[in-house]
Amino acid sequence: MQHQIPVDQLGPQGAPMAEAVDKCVHCGFCLPVCPTYEVMGEEMDSPRGRIFLMKEVLEGRVDLQEATTFVDRCLGCVACETACPSGVEYGQLITAYRGRAETVRRRTWGDRLLRWMMLSTLPYPARFRWAATMGRWARPLAGMFPRRMRAMLSLLPAKLPPRAVLPELTPAEGPRRARVALLATCAQQVLAPEINAATLRVLARNGVEVIVPSAQGCCGALAAHTGAQSLAQRMAIQNLTAFPDDVDAVLTNAAGCGSGLHEYPLWLRGSEHEERAKAMAAKVRDVSQFLAELGLEPLALPRSAKVAYHDACHLAHAQSVRQQPRQLLRQVDGLELLEIPDELCCGSAGTYNVEQPETAAALGARKAAVIRDLKADVVATGNIGCMTQLQMHLGADGPIVMHTMQVLDQAYRGEPLL
Ligand code: SF4
Ligand code: SF4
């Protein structure tokens, strides 16, 4: 797409934004895979429409505030990147654009409050635990709150699991085959600490020594994807210092966090930290990717089960990790792997189900209907956000939703999935 974006005036992230716009040839191949285009059917709610709008804003032809509604409705699922034959890196465009837009856009009082609440609690496990406890107490009064606050309350579990402290070092069982560092993942530690526990057990069982650096913090993805660029940069710098170099890989077990770590070079572009960010990003692997490369010790379920695998967008599209989790699940004796015949985002997308509850609910209901038809016993996925969204829409009588590592862990421990 031809453009006159004033790259020199846009700082270090001007070039990646211009490059993405430049590569777009307006072909429209990305439209059918875009969840918001599917739900709303409007060009401006499609990747092509948003690229054009962002270009116009960056060129100064369209008022930023006018474009905001359409840009805010983007899930950031980057399904459009997978579909694009021209290699448009939409993710780097929208992340950089949102960071720039945040410094000048006008937000309502309610918007600012909600954003402040999310950014000052979700990335910090102790604060999030406290806020989630308060939120559960406030749930009977949900009808008195604005709709997005109600959406936030509806996502909280009925009961929070007890706080779990992760060991800083988990030794490998048997001969050591690898040494890795694990990102502990903020909200997941509070909502489902058993995912990290299962991940550590599966890794140890496969001869992997795991370090969980105590100085690590939030990966920063939540901040970056809501335009809080300087907060995301500070979080990235903290992790660059916290994670050691002498490991074979830096592992994540939450798709959104993994794709956040891969974006560190973009967030820190042009800074003194850029090279270190590139070095760390090169070591980042999703745990399923790492285990598929390493090779799994044999495992079996004591009772057979049908497991449908759900692709988290930030694994499948942002990190191109599709086959590896399926490969691991297929190795479990007694597990029948089912494919979900629908690739659209489930509507979770970080804080999207709080910020855009109607679209998120439409996508969640659509995905749940497709999954129910499969008659699966379990849905496995690799992202806590998807797990929360799917379980909410599948309901108590639907299949249970588990992390892929929990499925493997139960097989290793000889426990049935249900
Ligand atoms: S598929 Fe790629 S090149 Fe075609 S309109 Fe979409 S973003 Fe542009
Ligand atoms: S990131 Fe997802 S929601 Fe946003 S334009 Fe691309 S496909 Fe559509």
Cα gap 21→283, rounded to integer Å = 29
pLDDT digits over 64-96, tens only? 999 999 999 999 999 999 999 999 999 999 999
134 compared with 22, residue with greater pLDDT: 22
Cα gap 105→356, rounded to integer Å = 18
Does the domain formed by 169-291 have CATH 3.40.50? yes
Angle at 238 between CA 234 and CA 243, to 5 degrees: 150
Q: How far is the CA of 320 from the centre of ligand 1 (A)?
A: 18
Ligand 2 pocket test, candidate residues 51, 73, 78, most atoms within 8 A of CB: 78
For ligand 2, atom 5: residue with the closest CA: 47
Cα gap 228→231, rounded to integer Å = 6
Helix, strand, coil share of the chain (percent; to 5) = 55, 10, 35
Q: Hey, what CATH class is 7-102 in?
A: mainly alpha
Please give the pLDDT value at position 134: 83
Domain ranges of the chain: 7-102, 114-154, 169-291, 299-412
Cα gap 40→78, rounded to integer Å = 17
Does the domain formed by 299-412 have CATH 3.30.750? no
The residue to which tokens 């002498």 are assigned: 246
pLDDT digits over 107-147, tens only? 988 889 889 989 999 899 999 899 888 887 777 777 777 77
For ligand 1, atom 1: residue with the closest CA: 84
Determine the atom of ligand 1 nearest the C-alpha atom of 29.
1
> Residue 377 in contact with residue 338, Cβ under 8 Å?
no
Common-topology check for domains 169-291 and 299-412: yes
What band does 353 get if pLDDT is binned at 50, 70 and 90? confident
Identify the nearest ligand to the CA of 29 by its number: 1
User: Which amino acid type is present at position 363?
Assistant: L
Q: How far is the CA of 328 from the centre of ligand 2 (A)?
A: 28
Torsion of CA 20, 267, 272, 55, to 10 degrees: 30
Q: How far is the CA of 258 from the centre of ligand 1 (A)?
A: 25
CA 141 to chain CA mean position, Å: 30
pLDDT digits over 221-254, tens only? 999 999 999 999 999 999 999 999 999 999 999 9
Ligand 2 pocket test, candidate residues 39, 69, 72, 74, most atoms within 8 A of CB: 74
